[in-house]
Structure 1
């Protein structure tokens, strides 16, 4: 069977794309009509400051990241070679949990304490205090961005 590319097929793709865009705009408009803007503004004003974080969080976080990465990487071969058992798909992901706990600890330490031992009292004072004041949101956003970037790097070099 011989396959050929017909330019007329692009019309179907364009029509489908237009349909999806219109549906998304309709759903977005419906969501905005049902939303109370004042509730969103009040929710955005709430700040969740972070309490004091011990200095050892950074070192322990790095250790947990290394431990979790090595553990998660070596567990599938351990199950096969030592236990002679093929674990179900996704079971090996449990062993990456220390990596994510360590990543959270590192980000928390970075936001609250920073990594520099030199005390520059007036440099970046406003930005640092705002990061501490909006600490939990900042750490969550940094954690999500880091995990998404790691997934993108994995997907970029992954060849099944």
Structure 2
């Protein structure tokens, strides 16, 4: 359980909240395996080609929420906000099925596919989810959406396993 304490400065009456201790990363994967890391960046770059950036941000944030990757949620939410996404759509993303009116049908199809590919609870992507996505994207676009979902899931697994620390990312920090 995370606890916070508050202290009051007797001189000015200001209250200061002290949050739980921030954990550090377990392993700096980019430093240990730079060629692997560069290959992941190339996969990300290739997957993103031709995908609407707004849609791609939604995919990355939603997969990261499902995978509990705090670092990626922090990064992709900040990037999306910096590129004009609304706070409301990002906040509602974790409950998109109940907040459908915030998203286009195309985005909804991509979000359903993102969840199906990310979770794989039944061991496969349901035909109806795939068919709905295929109805909103041509085959090249769909291939890129699937590639993007796959790449963010790989990044999430790296971030969660190595305990990358959220909160310090600046929008666009890793762009060339």
So what's the TM-score if we normalise by structure 2?
0.21
Q: Taking CA–CA contacts closer than 8 Å with sequence separation of 6 or more, which of the two structures ends up with the larger relative contact order?
A: 2
Structure with the largest fraction of strand: 2
User: Which of the pair is proportionally richer in helix?
Assistant: 1
TM-score (norm 1): 0.23
Based on CA coordinates, which of the two structures has the bigger radius of gyration? 1
